[in-house]
Amino acid sequence: MKLTRRVLAPAAVAAATAGYASMNHRKPPPAEMEGGAKSTVAILKASSYSVDLVRPILDGIRACGLDVRGKRVLLKPNLVEFDHATAINTDARVVAAALEAFSTAGAASVTIGEGPGHRRDTFDLAREAEYLQFVPRFDALFTDLNRDDVSSVPQFADDGEFFFPNTALRADLMVSMPKMKTHHWAGVTLSMKNLFGLVPGAMYGWPKNRLHIIGITRSILELNRVFRNTFALVDGIVGMEGNGPIQGTPKQAGVLVMGRDVRAVDATCCRIMGVDPLQVEYLRLAAPLGRIEEKWIEQRGEKTAAVATEFALIAQFSGLRGRVS
């Protein structure tokens, strides 16, 4: 509930940040996040979903120096809800192209997994969103993460243990594939927030209300602490502005944004959307561990300014405009 989050937010965020910085992580962070190197973020233009999307994704993988050879790759799109009138989900054609691109790049396996927040019939949602139409062998490749086998991970926020789908825990590399959207609680929802879909409904319900009680910001930070080996591939070809993540309106941005540092990718997406990333609470708190500021981001492909297009924000988030450098 909003009220609960507000009441608990300061203490919870402080605890999350401390834990985030000090805890032993399950997997090593990307090498470029160690030391003083900049984080590489690739912005690739794609005017529509009808153009060749495999090539720009492959270009992005290479530009970011990502080696997927021999790895079990899990694509984690954002499947939330379907409405013909707007653009809620990661487009199926981007998922299909990623499937081909990561296979071409040498992955040992590429599968797809998602656990929608409130729709229980995940396969029907995927059918509505045209995943069965555009993604070859979707039935065989897809795991409903809400109903997967699970294993526990020690310490998640204040919970002594937390359960996650085995499909996600056992992947060598997760590809977080969000839609570029505004979000009526978090401000924006991008590759870091997209990990909410890893929380199994069979354990935590539909929606995953436990995350809201922990606090959205803290949950985002904790999820990204647990799942550190994540590559971001943001579907910004047509995003969503206004009252996202479900009831907003489509917004053409014409880009795919990719990178190994999810914080740097989300910060770059914010700049494209006309949002100051340091005004987004979860990004500001993640800043010490990622490259949020532009001076720490090595931009490949298009320049941010060349593709920036202001996303409309609901009134309560007008302050996110801040200083978009």
Task: Name the minimum Å distance from CB 322 to another protein.
Answer: 22
Residues 6 or more apart whose CB falls under 8 angstroms from that of 142 comprise 111, 112, 113, 114, 123, 126, 131, 135
Indicate which single residue of 124, 133, 303, 310 sits in contact with another protein (rule: CB under 8 A): 124
Indicate which single residue of 243, 249, 252, 309 sits in contact with another protein (rule: CB under 8 A): 243
187 to each of 255, 264, 284, how far by Cα in Å? 20, 17, 12
Beta strand extents in 72-198 (DSSP E only): 72-77, 109-114, 142-144, 150-156, 159-165, 173-177, 179-183, 187-189
User: Both tokens of residue 17?
Assistant: 């940040």
How do 142-144 and 150-156 pair as beta strands?
unpaired
Q: How far apart are CA 250 and CA 89, in angstroms?
A: 11
Query: Nearer Cβ to another protein, position 119 or 271?
Result: 119
Residue 285 phi/psi, 5-degree rounding, is -75, -25
Task: Name the minimum Å distance from CB 155 to another protein.
Answer: 15
| 317 binding another protein? (CB under 8 A) | no
User: Both tokens of residue 141?
Assistant: 């490749």
| 196 binding another protein? (CB under 8 A) | no
Indicate which single residue of 139, 154, 170, 310 sits in contact with another protein (rule: CB under 8 A): 139
Query: Nearer Cβ to another protein, position 38 or 127?
Result: 127
Indicate which single residue of 204, 229, 298, 312 sits in contact with another protein (rule: CB under 8 A): 204
Task: Name the minimum Å distance from CB 204 to another protein.
Answer: 7
Contact positions with another protein (CB under 8 A) in 149-188: 149-150, 152, 161, 163, 184
Query: Among the candidate windows 39-47, 100-108, 200-208, 216-224, which touches another protein by CB under 8 A?
Result: 200-208
Cβ(94)–Cβ(237) below 8 Å: yes
Cis amide prior to 245 (ω within 30 degrees):
yes
| 111 binding another protein? (CB under 8 A) | no
Binding mask 254-273 toward another protein (x if CB under 8 A, else -) reads --------------------
Query: Among the candidate windows 61-69, 116-124, 226-234, 270-278, which touches another protein by CB under 8 A?
Result: 116-124
- Cβ neighbours of 170 (radius 10 Å): 10
Q: Let me know how long the chain is.
A: 325
| 49 binding another protein? (CB under 8 A) | no
Q: Which spans of this chain sit near another protein (rule: CB under 8 A)?
A: 1-4, 118-121, 123-125, 139, 144, 147-150, 152, 161, 163, 184, 202-207, 209-210, 212-213, 243, 247, 314
